[in-house]
């Protein structure tokens, strides 16, 4: 597991070159492109164009929910993501190319897979609407795997979330926007500072 001072951070729902630039300037670890119905939905070709603007070292994540295999094939062929993220139950029936990392999503109120994946996203009941995940359940799972906490996070509550859950990483989308799908560079930087600052304080106190 990563140390808390090295908190892993993903900015999800990227829809513009400006959002890529802001995420890169904030030195995040990953950027996510949404292919499920959403104000943040992009096409594989759009995702590929935006992802090409990101510097090397930033993980490019395809984010889906209950996709058909034909959609997965098109995303992997035209976007060529580093990682494919979708609900854990989806992965039983999907074929993801072996060279692409898989990031399962487990949602509040749903049973986690057994055995737990090495790394997973723990999310609220619905993505992209600011619904806060169950931090108590997340904290329990975080002791057993590399858990990336998502759902309703912002600069205002990410420090409290990190203290409560002690996750491997955090994932934000609506919490760094001025409107659905419109990322705010200042909010991205504020979120990253708050997350890494909280993680570092906890590490120093331990």
Q: How far apart are CA 13 and CA 33, in angstroms?
A: 5
**pLDDT of 133 higher than 70:** yes
Q: Where are the domains of the chain?
A: 4-200
Per-residue DSSP letters for the chain?
Answer: ---GGG-EEEE----SHHHHHHHHHTT-SEEEEE-SSSTTB--HHHHHHHHTTSPTTSEEEEE-SS--HHHHHHHHHHT--SEEEEEGGGGGT----TTSEEEEEEETTSPPPSSPPSEEEEE-SSTTS-PPP-HHHHHHHHTTSEEEE-SS--TTTHHHHHHHH--SEEEESGGGEEETTEE-HHHHHHHHHHHHHHHHHHHHH-
Residue 172 main-chain phi, psi, to 5 deg:
-130, 145
- At 6, the pLDDT band (50, 70, 90 cuts) reads confident
Among 70-84, 124-138, 187-201, which is the least confidently predicted range?
A: 124-138
Provide the mean pLDDT of the chain.
93
Give the per-residue pLDDT at 49: 98
Q: What is the mean pLDDT of residues 95-106?
A: 97
Per-residue DSSP letters for 84-107?
Answer: EEEEGGGGGT----TTSEEEEEEE
Residues 21 and 53: beta-carbon distance below 8 Å: yes
Q: How far apart are CA 178 and CA 145, in angstroms?
A: 33
- At 2, the pLDDT band (50, 70, 90 cuts) reads very low
CATH class held by domain 4-200: alpha beta
Entry pTM = 0.94
**pLDDT of 206 higher than 80:** no
Q: How far apart are CA 149 and CA 157, in angstroms?
A: 12
Give the per-residue pLDDT at 128: 62
Residue 67 main-chain phi, psi, to 5 deg:
-75, 155
Give the per-residue pLDDT at 1: 37
User: Considering the chain, what percentage of its residues have pLDDT values greater than 90?
Assistant: 85
Q: How far apart are CA 91 and CA 94, in angstroms?
A: 5
Per-residue pLDDT tens digits for 23-56: 999 999 999 999 999 999 999 999 999 999 999 9
Give the per-residue pLDDT at 127: 72
User: Considering the chain, what percentage of its residues have pLDDT values greater than 70?
Assistant: 96
């Amino acid at each position: 597991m990563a140390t808390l001072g090295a908190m892993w951070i993903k900015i999800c729902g990227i829809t513009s070159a400006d959002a890529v630039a802001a995420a890169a300037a904030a030195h995040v670890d990953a950027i996510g492109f949404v292919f499920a119905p959403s104000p943040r939905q992009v096409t594989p070709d759009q995702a590929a164009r935006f992802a090409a603007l990101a510097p090397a070292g930033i993980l490019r994540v395809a984010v889906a929910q209950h996709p058909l295999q034909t959609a997965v094939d098109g995303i992997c062929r035209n976007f060529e993501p580093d990682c494919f993220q979708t609900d854990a139950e989806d992965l039983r029936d999907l074929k993801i190319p072996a060279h692409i990392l898989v990031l399962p999503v487990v949602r509040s109120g749903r049973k986690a897979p057994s055995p737990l994946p090495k790394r997973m996203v723990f999310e609220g009941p619905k993505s992209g609407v600011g619904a806060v995940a169950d931090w108590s359940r997340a904290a329990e799972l975080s002791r057993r795997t590399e858990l990336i906490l998502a759902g309703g996070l912002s600069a205002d509550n990410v420090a409290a979330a990190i203290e409560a859950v002690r996750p491997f990483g955090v994932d934000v989308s609506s919490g760094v926007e001025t409107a659905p799908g419109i990322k705010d560079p200042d909010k991205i930087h504020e979120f990253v500072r708050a997350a890494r600052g909280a993680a570092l304080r906890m590490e120093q106190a331990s």
